[in-house]
Structure 1
């Protein structure tokens, strides 16, 4: 299997926004470990940025949509793409780029668990990829119905089996 690592929406307005994501410190640490492992093994890295309409607080130029500096993105080596929908494949270059690199398996981490992570896991499966969701490297914030902890645990359970293989950061980097 040829892997690619996809980091979804780890951007200023979400990760460093007014609401602190669930397990923010450990999730960021785990994502950084995944990136380090990907780089050392030659695994291609893809970073998704979710943007909104021009002129909005989430426009492509807005500081809120910029990837967080803690990721140490290498703009010359890593693939960064803009998305406007929860599905990282919809109207983006992702599928084309994965096919060009003959990627079979997509390893997924990032934000927000119940929206973009969930939607992209399902879409990747539908597109024919083997999908690995890193159970301790995705996060979200509380919503009126559920705590972020419950959202993460629920999605790990719901997606595992039919749509993804669930692994921990430790398992993937080993």
Structure 2
């Protein structure tokens, strides 16, 4: 994990959408109560960093990935609605704190991987990204699949002057993603086992506070 000014960095926010607020549709319970707060902290830090940079190669590429299911009965199907605070809202829309700003990229997918059927891979390569920070929903589905494919595709790898391969950094903010109970396992177990499977093989699993400190220089944490 490197400072954003040292390695060209992209922040990928996956499926932070209204549909995941349904209390029972996805499972009987959910992990990581502080997930949304931590995603908001990462997004705010990236935006603050970019404002300070005022453009140039050190700007963090902020990428929002949204799921639009092809299945009509999915809560992430375009046109699906969910009731929040007594009001019906579009389930595919991002949560208010994760709404993209005009200069931030949006990628729409209909499968688990953020790289299938989207221009995300081409965009990251065109930007010369050497480090990914990944957060979002859900740990064992779209977050895991995207992280694994980012590693397998070597989207942050570069070839050095000696011909060697610099693998770059893929950082998964473990407390900025979440999942649901399933298969008789509680949500925190599902979440933890999936992070353990990714850590050291496909990504570095880190805590949000460490990402803020190392990548964005939050010395006051």
Q: State if a TM-score over 0.5 links the two structures.
A: yes
The equivalent of 2:113 in structure 1 is 87
* Cα deviation code 1:14-63 (max 9, x no counterpart): 1x113363233x11110011001111222121111111127555333441
Q: How many residues get paired?
A: 171
CA contact (8 A) 2:9 2:130 kept: yes
The equivalent of 1:22 in structure 2 is 31
Where 1:65 maps in the other structure, the secondary structure is coil
Is there any run of 5+ residues in structure 2 with no aligned partner, and where? 1-6, 51-59, 81-89, 157-168, 214-221
Larger Rg: 2
CA contact (8 A) 1:54 1:60 kept: no
The equivalent of 1:71 in structure 2 is 98
Work out the CA distance in 2 between the residues paired with 1:124 and 1:146. Answer: 27
- RMSD (Å), alpha carbons: 1.6
* Residue from 114, 120, 141 that aligns with 1:115: 141
Summarize the alignment of residues 1-174 of structure 1 with structure 2, pairs less than 5 Å apart.
1-14=7-20, 16-19=21-24, 21-24=30-33, 26-42=34-50, 43-53=60-70, 57=74, 58-62=76-80, 63-74=90-101, 76-128=102-154, 129=156, 130-174=169-213
Where 1:30 maps in the other structure, the secondary structure is helix
Is there any run of 5+ residues in structure 1 with no aligned partner, and where? none
* Cα deviation code 1:34-93 (max 9, x no counterpart): 00111122212111111112755533344111111122431x111111101101001111
The equivalent of 2:217 in structure 1 is none
Where 1:10 maps in the other structure, the secondary structure is coil
Work out the CA distance in 2 between the residues paired with 1:95 and 1:18. Answer: 33
Deviation at 1:100, TM superposition (A): 1.8
Deviation at 1:106, TM superposition (A): 1.1
Deviation at 1:144, TM superposition (A): 2.7
